Amino acid sequence: MRILGIETSCDETGVAVYDDDQGLLSHELYSQVKLHADYGGVVPELASRDHVRKIVPLINKALADAHTVPGDLDGIAFTQGPGLMGALLVGSSVGRSLAYAWNIPAVGVHHMEGHLLAPMLEANAPAFPFIALLVSGGHSMLVNVQGIGRYEVLGESIDDAAGEAFDKTAKLLGLDYPGGPLLAKLAEQGEPGHYKFPRPMTDRPGLDFSFSGLKTFAANTIRDADNAPQTQANIAYAFEEAVVDTLLIKCRRALKQTGMKRLVIAGGVSANTRLRDKMAALMKQLNGEVFYPSLAFCTDNGAMIAYAGMQRLKAGQHTPLSASAKPRWALDTLPPV
């Protein structure tokens, strides 16, 4: 089976061709970072228009690079939600239109299921069951994964997601957009012991996340500090440590609660080096294993959508061509495969 995958949930246009025998045949990604940089964040209308401009050329290139013509495809997978409504409509409209024109089935993919299954694109893929930590700009959640579509959300963000807190704190430090990776780079120059940030919601039971208070603590710390480069680096270090430690504590709880020995970490924040190092140390201590997607597949991409869509198409699931995009969509409502 060969699938065309289309991702347009936010500010990246991703297209890929995946074959269940040959693996990933092509992978195209266009980022809108420069477009939104002047505004310090994603402008939904601009994002939608840019998806319209880029999506067809990217589809043509992905097909050409995969030496694939429409007649070779067995289906199309597109991100149906969650995400920005206008951006989702671009990918879903194009995906469904091509499916109709080429007379092949289409399937709408849950964006977070795509991230959750992204490590399956790697040679060392995790086996079910496992605990998944999904951390990105819009989501932070812990999921008990028994199989594809068999998800129990154990905890999630009640306000700011981890990636959102990274970006907002980076903006307070005067860093460019997107600030998360730049804050992490600045933190490499920081020294421990200068600042102590709270680890939110770790002093009480439960697996939910809250990073808005940590962002406020960072804002107050930055306001009261000097502008010396080393001071800024020390603040970045303390903030990153607080976020990583919080995620670590919650993952340890989830693993203990479920008795799992496998941990998957996916989403944009999963590219953070300190997070990877600390999670690797945790799983070694617990005699378990940790799995990540490669860096190219941590952020939004078409490959993860193609893979997730293929699993559902193989199971005989498809999406009616009349179906609408879903800007809000609970992960644990998906049907099992």
Instruction: Quick: pLDDT tens for 74-124.
Output: 999 999 999 999 999 999 999 999 999 999 999 999 999 999 999 999 999
Question: 149 labelled as ligand-binding?
Answer: no
Residue 220 CA: distances (Å) to CA of 169, 225, 289: 11, 9, 38
| pTM (2 d.p.) | 0.96
Percentage above 90 pLDDT, the chain: 97
pLDDT in tens, 270-318: 999 999 999 999 999 999 999 999 999 999 999 999 999 999 999 999 9
pLDDT in tens, 229-279: 999 999 999 999 999 999 999 999 999 999 999 999 999 999 999 999 999
Question: 135 labelled as ligand-binding?
Answer: yes
In the structure, what pLDDT confidence band is assigned to residue 5 with cuts at 50, 70 and 90? very high
The arrangement of secondary structure in 2-117+300-333, i.e. its CATH architecture, is 2-Layer Sandwich (3.30)
Question: 272 labelled as ligand-binding?
Answer: yes
- 2-117+300-333 against 128-292: fold identical: yes
Under 8 Å between Cβ of 112 and 264: no
Residue 66 exposure: Cα atoms within 13 Å on the Cβ side = 28
pLDDT in tens, 50-60: 999 999 999 99
The pLDDT value given to residue 137: 83
Question: 52 labelled as ligand-binding?
Answer: no
Question: 92 labelled as ligand-binding?
Answer: no
CA distance linking residue 36 with residue 47, whole number of Å = 8
Q: Which helix (H) or strand (E) holds 31?
A: strand 23-31
Question: 111 labelled as ligand-binding?
Answer: yes
Q: How many helices (H) and strands (E) does the chain have?
A: 10, 10
Question: 114 labelled as ligand-binding?
Answer: no
Under 8 Å between Cβ of 106 and 318: yes
Domain range list for the chain: 2-117+300-333, 128-292
Of 32, 26, 37, the closest CA to residue 9 belongs to 32
The pLDDT value given to residue 40: 87
pLDDT in tens, 144-170: 999 999 999 999 999 999 999 999 999
Q: Which of 31-35, 36-40, 242-246, 271-275 has the lowest mean pLDDT?
A: 36-40
Question: 208 labelled as ligand-binding?
Answer: no
Sequential DSSP letters for 58-107: HHHHHHHHTT--GGG--EEEEEEESS-HHHHHHHHHHHHHHHHHHT--EE
Under 8 Å between Cβ of 271 and 295: yes
128-292 maps to which CATH number? Answer: 3.30.420.40
pLDDT in tens, 175-227: 998 899 999 999 999 999 999 999 999 999 999 999 999 999 999 999 999 99
The pLDDT value given to residue 182: 96
Give the distance, in angstroms, between the CA of residue 246 and the centroid of all CA atoms in the same chain.
18
pLDDT at 138 over 90: no
Question: 137 labelled as ligand-binding?
Answer: yes
